[in-house]
Structure 1
Amino acid sequence: MRRDSVIYLLPTEITQDDVGNEKVVFGAPRKRLAERKSVRQSEFYQAATTDFKPEIVFTIWVHEYKGEAFLWFKNQTYHIIRTFEKNFRELELVCEVRMDGNSYIGDF
């Protein structure tokens, strides 16, 4: 597998503000090398029946993934909407852009 992109897996914690609204707090990012791919046409059209909008796919080693729901790539936070274990070594992370304004901002 060719590793052509640097991504940052973002562990999260759900907290509440003073009023009780839930807020996602990002933990320390974990830098990983990944292979970037386009979303397959079939997956794009299947997602059209839901609220998901898959935009990009990253492939990483299975042992590198710890269940993160978000990743950061090129100044954009992505929500991992689906994972797919291609084989015993590789895992695909199907992602959509996070649009709720709660983006990761950190030092890399």
Structure 2
Amino acid sequence: MFWLWASGYFCSKTFYTMKFFYLSSLPNAEGLFEIHDKECELIPESINRDYLGPFNNGKEALRVASQKNPKAALCAKCCSGISQAIIFSSKNKESSQEI
């Protein structure tokens, strides 16, 4: 959390950084292809993974990975935290729901 000076007042602001996600090209024991972030200790060797891109959380990475491979799944180690998508289904914030 950071404190910002705005219009004569200090206000707190939380900044979220994007992570880089990869899709394993080798299936796990259940036949699923796991999504890992760059810092995951279970991430496969570079030859056995495909770059998905930068995302705010695993849920957003899964949305893209599912289009490339319907058997994509989130890694239980690095993508199990509570995640909340920040993309809305409508431009009108009051009437939209998070996806």
Name the TM-score, length of structure 1 as normaliser. 0.26
Larger radius of gyration: 2
Give the structure with the larger strand fraction: 1
Give the structure with the larger helix fraction: 2
Name the TM-score, length of structure 2 as normaliser. 0.28
